[in-house]
Chains A and B, each alone.
Chain A
Amino acid sequence: MASPNRHLRDRSFSPIGRDFLSTSPVPSIASISSVASGTTVVETLRPKKQHLTNHASHKPRRVIGGDNFQLPAVIPPSTITSQVSGGAEDGSDQPICPICHELMTNLAELNGHLDEYHKDVEQGEKDNMQSKFMKYLSKAKNFTPVQALNQTFAYADISDLGFTMPLAPGVNPDTSAFVPYNNGAGFAGPGATGSTGGVTFVGPHNIAPTGSNGNSRRIASPTGVNGTHPQAVHQSPKLTEESITRAHWQRETGNDHCAQYSCGRLLNNRTGKANCRSCGKLFCDEHATCQMKLSKRAKWEPVHGVWARVCFSCFESRPGFNDSSGTIEDLSSAFTEKRRKTVTKAHLEANLLEKRLTKLIKLLIETNDPSVKDLGTPAITGAGPTQLAKGAAFAAASLATGYLKQVRNYRKPPEQSIVAWQDDKNVQDCPYCEQKFTFSLRKHHCRLCGNVVCASPETMCSSRIVLDMEAISEYLSERIFEDFIVSVRVCKDCHAVVFGRREFAQDIARKPNFVKVYENMVEFKRGIESLLPRFQKLLGNFDDPNKPPSHELLAEASRVRKKLLYSFQEYDTAAKRIWKMPTSSAQQSKLQSNVHMAAMQLLQLYMLPLRSLPNALKHAQS
């Protein structure tokens, strides 16, 4: 059995050290002493556990300065009247190992340290140490018991303590007298202590406080509070399996069976018998071989507990032990958060360009047809832009070449008033396709951002967009030019900014026929899935061979079956329809055939068994 305190040794593993150091801003005595019941104290202390910091361990540690404190008189080992002075506020103690002079963060650690490293010290030295300890501890009890308390309870499981918390020192100095209290290992049954004051000492002296406000603390964490006997620190045995409560143990009756479900053997000397330290039940040797760390109250305490023998089910039922789900980290909200910026920016940009476009169109219409005065904002709505084929534009334009020139002339000023056009001279290549501008590849301007861009029909670096004229056509007198008049050249990027989202939304909203059929199919599938369990339940009623099912039941069963078969049929038809839908795209046809395949899978699974049911029903009826 490994030394129970061993795990406390390694500072990097034990949170104690860090824990305590990080709590260095000690709550003032006053605040604690005003607390009447211990639990509140602990509750205020507990959260500290969460603020473990690694940096803490680098903090300089203060060594006790003996000068600050009055040295107490030598305290007789058996009876101590604790006289705690009130002037303890300024203290902060750092125990030192009296043997090797190693600095400790707290007394609990010191205790562990002594157990670990100095347990072999000769008796003679022990005596020597005892006096040292007495000196030290009586010092300690004269100051900062509160901090010590913190330290004791910061890691203690409250439910585990189960007794009244110590009062702050100095409150009732006279009453905390220690009397010898002799008990064995099983002294601390749950609830045995409680309101009468903790009785939780193991040690050569077995000192326990009595009195209305008894002090209590965990074993092996002697803190020097309120007159702990110094020797208890050193001589209290290691926290061992023995110190775990045994009150809940199943008593041996001589006719016990192993509590392991699969075993259940009668326990005798051959099988061996052992109590699970955690649940207390009796097991044979073979089924109580696991080990886990328990607190004194026989509860799982992974960090500060003691190794103890337990049964497998206790071992297994530790929270988190059988957690078979893998870690999943959902970054969606972080992603949305980051995306919000992008989207806002995109929205702003889209708005800006949209406004420009609206304004431009309005201007254009006004210039083109001065008779239209009271034109509202032309809506860029619904159907969105369609791209005008170059040929069509030409055709329209050539119809009225003379007019075209005119149009160009009076279009230019309003267009340029919307956005300043980029100077042609500075641009040699199209910024998108990077082709050189030539006589055939002309320079054009995007009417929304003003940049120079080509109009190659292959690359579609820019295109003319024509707005849905339905909404505004009534304002126009010459219908033949309506397309031309409000078609606006826009570069690729601006197009995407203004119309991309809209187009995308429309695309999503447009349901191809086969999606509709699919949705239909899914509906039938849902129907099947809700009917099947019902049907199985009905079949379950036919279980008893001696009691033939009633007529109503049979009728109900065949009705549900009929309904099911109908759903299956519809489902099948829908699946076949999807499968057979003509499509030119390879992926689409693969998609359709896979939908069909999945449907067949489901049908095979659910429907085939149903086929033979009529026979069975008949059989039952006869």
Chain B
Amino acid sequence: MDLLSACHTYVDKLLDSKPAAGNGVYESSGGKMKILLLDTETTPILSMISTQSLLLKNEVYLIDRLDNSNRERMRHLRCLIFVRPTNDAIQAIVDELRDPKYGEYELYFSNVVKKSALERMAEADDYEVVKAVVEVFADYLVINKDLFALNLFAPQSCIFGDAPESWNPRPFMRSVEAITGALLTLKKKPIIRYEANSPLAKSLAIETLYNIQQDSKLFDFRRMDTPPVLLILDRKNDPVTPLLTPWTYQAMVHEYLGIKNGRVDLSAVPDVRADMKEIVLSPDGDSFYTDNMFKNFGDLGASIKDYVDKYQSRTKSNMNIDSIADMKRFVEEYPEFRKLSGNVTKHVTLVSELSRRVSQDNLLEISELEQSLACNDNHANDLKQLRIYLSQNLPDDTKIRLVALYALRYERSDQGPTALPSLLDKLSRSNVSPTRLLALKTLLRYAGANERQEDLFKTDSIFSRTQSGFKGLQGVENVYTQHVTLLERTLGALVKGRLRENFYPFIEGGGSSRDKPSDIIVFFIGGVTFEESKVIAQINAATPGLRIVIGGTAVHNSNTFLDEMEFASTKWQI
């Protein structure tokens, strides 16, 4: 259940390179120059699982878009095409084959190719230039080894239709295809459960099941002791997690800088080095990041210090090479050392920017209030704090988040969110943009207590920590990370075979099982967060025999989540 290594087999197939044997440095391939043609979606997909230098090493010297009509005729090249099997792409390939610009072609598709499409392409291939047609199922972005996502963001691909209960058709199909692709990559034919209160989840479950049944030949996998479970969740049942200030490395970078397709744009950061304006941040091949992406900010500081020290001692020892032993070590370590030097700079830049933001935006205090809102029942105190912050000079979104948390938290409490009108009033008077205020109201309508199916705020907070029942997950007591995501509780119940069927029914006709599942695929409609991905990674690490992969229509931070709501408010006319 490792998406990254599974997708690496796809890249190997695509590049026809043998999987790295031994030290993996010396491998040879074909001796023929290649061009790689991609489409708008496979470009980021591939960039998440491969690197420019890997492509170059495998003689892919040109990369272009399939729909670029200005490509020159270069018959001495072999052409690799990796695209999603959309109608447009198939048509483009047909046109290409009728008048081939390159000497030979290998066609790779990121999902199931329809029979008719295959026929059309075969009919167009008069020159017999196609050497291979392969379906690889990397139809999603691999963000971590256990996290996949799509880029279904508003406004281009807002997932919602005209109402919170309906899908926008294209993102809907895209989600189904991503799930199908992920299942095929992982070789799982799951039974499907979904959140009963979400029509979105239900229709996604039905369509996914239909796809699985359509391609039953592909889904003919070895039976395991218990069938794997696909759990389809809806963001509306947990609107709180995306609103909270995150404190782990990956999540923080996404919250304050934004990770887009594995890249971080640092151009807005003050005093940043020219070569660090845009950096690649991906767990693929970055061991420091892999080790620390889920560490909280405090531990991260210590890690980065060690890392820098290690680098400095290495630099020193590389200066004087005067024995064979030194030499040998140097020969062996040199490639890694080169990587190291770039990496150290990168992470130091990132961490120092994060730490600048933490102090600049008063994040510690704010986070404390957020956690208190999310986890404790302390209306009077919370409200007092909240009012103080609202009158301070904080970013608009921070204020919106705090008010949203307050409103969600006390919506059902005895007192009720009595102060909400006055808070909203205060917000609007403090020059918060009216559309953002509307987003706040939309959020309450989308994910308010009436829309949710379970008690999101377990008021008995003392017990809620043990609720999930995963051992070793609650690390050090920390006031900033008290909040336990709903996902963790849900999974805890699922793993024990105690997930309630009235809340999480099996999709009809897709089978059911009361056995405790050991392989689980979770999909979040409305976007997943890195906080949740962290939970999954920790559960995976702490529980041998249990393997979970999580996916979502997008990876949200608080900003994109509110953007989504803002856009939805124009659609839903609230």
Contact = CB atoms under 8 A, between A and B. Distances in A.
A326 B31 contact: no
B225 A293 contact: yes
B6 A326 contact: yes
A331 B134 contact: yes
Given A326-B187, A512-B76, A13 B511 contact: yes
Interface residues of A, number: 87
B227 A292 contact: no
Nearest to A602: B57
Interface string A1-43: 0100011001011000000000000000000000000000000
A508 B103 contact: yes
Interface stretch (A186-194, A364-372, A614-622): A614-622
Interface in B304-349: 321-328, 330-331, 334-335, 338
A539 interface: yes
Contact of A332 (B132, B326, B544): B132
A289 B545 CA distance: 9
Interface in A329-358: 329-332, 334-335, 338-339, 341-343, 346
Contact of B324 (A339, A588, A619): A619
Nearest to A497: B126
B25 A338 contact: no
B230 to A, nearest CB: 16
A73 interface: no
Given A536-B331, A594-B56, A324 B2 contact: yes
A335 B330 contact: no
Nearest to A507: B75
Given A10-B512, A598-B56, A616 B126 contact: no
Contact of A335 (B76, B122, B515): B122
Main secondary structure of the interface of A (DSSP, over half): helix
B126 A326 contact: no
Interface in B93-147: 100, 103, 112-113, 118-119, 121-138
Interface stretch (B154-162, B216-224, B254-262, B441-449): B216-224
B327 A342 contact: no
* Residue with the greatest number of chain B CB neighbours at <10 A, chosen from A326, A512, A588: A326
A597 B223 contact: no
Contacts of B138: 326
A125 to B, nearest CB: 26
B10 interface: yes
Interface in B173-232: 184-187, 218, 221-225, 227
A213 B126 CA distance: 68
Contacts of A595: 33, 61
A261 interface: no
B10 to A, nearest CB: 6
A522 interface: yes
Contact of B33 (A10, A12, A518): A518
Interface in B1-50: 2, 5-7, 9-10, 13, 25-28, 31, 33
A427 interface: no
Which of B59, B134, B184, B225 has the most A CB atoms < 10 Å from its CB?
Answer: B225
Interface residues of B, number: 82
Nearest to B59: A598
Contacts of B359: none
Contact of A339 (B6, B57, B122, B321): B122
B513 interface: yes
A329 B135 contact: yes
B125 A339 contact: yes
A612 to B, nearest CB: 5
A321 interface: yes
B125 A320 contact: no
Contacts of A324: 2, 5-6, 9
Contact of A612 (B71, B330, B512): B330
Interface string B66-100: 00000110111100000000000000000000001
B225 A292 contact: yes
B512 to A, nearest CB: 7
Contacts of B128: 339, 343
Contacts of A330: 132-135
Contacts of A529: 26-28
Contacts of A515: 33, 76
Nearest to B9: A325
A327 B184 contact: yes
A223 B322 CA distance: 80
Interface in A286-330: 289-293, 302-303, 305, 307, 312, 315-316, 318-321, 323-330
Which of A328, A346, A585: most chain B CB closer than 10 A?
A328
Nearest to A554: B324
Contacts of B121: 335
B269 interface: no
A127 interface: no
Contact of A323 (B57, B62, B187, B218): B187
B118 A334 contact: yes
B324 A504 contact: no
Given A338-B119, A588-B74, A343 B126 contact: yes
A325 B7 CA distance: 8
A325 B123 CA distance: 32
Contacts of B33: 515, 518, 591, 595
B545 A312 contact: yes
B514 interface: yes
A217 interface: no
Contacts of B515: 2, 6-7, 307
Interface in A586-605: 587-588, 590-591, 594-595, 597-598, 601-602, 604-605
Contact of A601 (B53, B185, B221, B321): B53
B127 A533 contact: no
B59 A327 contact: no
B10 A326 contact: yes
B323 A619 contact: yes
Contacts of B126: 342-343, 346, 500-501
A619 to B, nearest CB: 6
A307 B103 CA distance: 57
23 contacts: A7-B515, A10-B512, A13-B227, A302-B225, A316-B545, A321-B224, A324-B2, A324-B5, A328-B135, A331-B113, A335-B125, A338-B122, A343-B125, A500-B127, A526-B28, A539-B327, A539-B328, A542-B328, A543-B328, A587-B62, A601-B56, A602-B57, A613-B327
Given A12-B511, A619-B323, 9 more contacts: A6-B515, A319-B222, A320-B224, A328-B10, A328-B136, A342-B125, A507-B75, A620-B323, A620-B324
A-B residue pairs, 7 tightest by C-beta = A338-B122, A616-B327, A326-B6, A326-B185, A598-B56, A329-B135, A594-B61
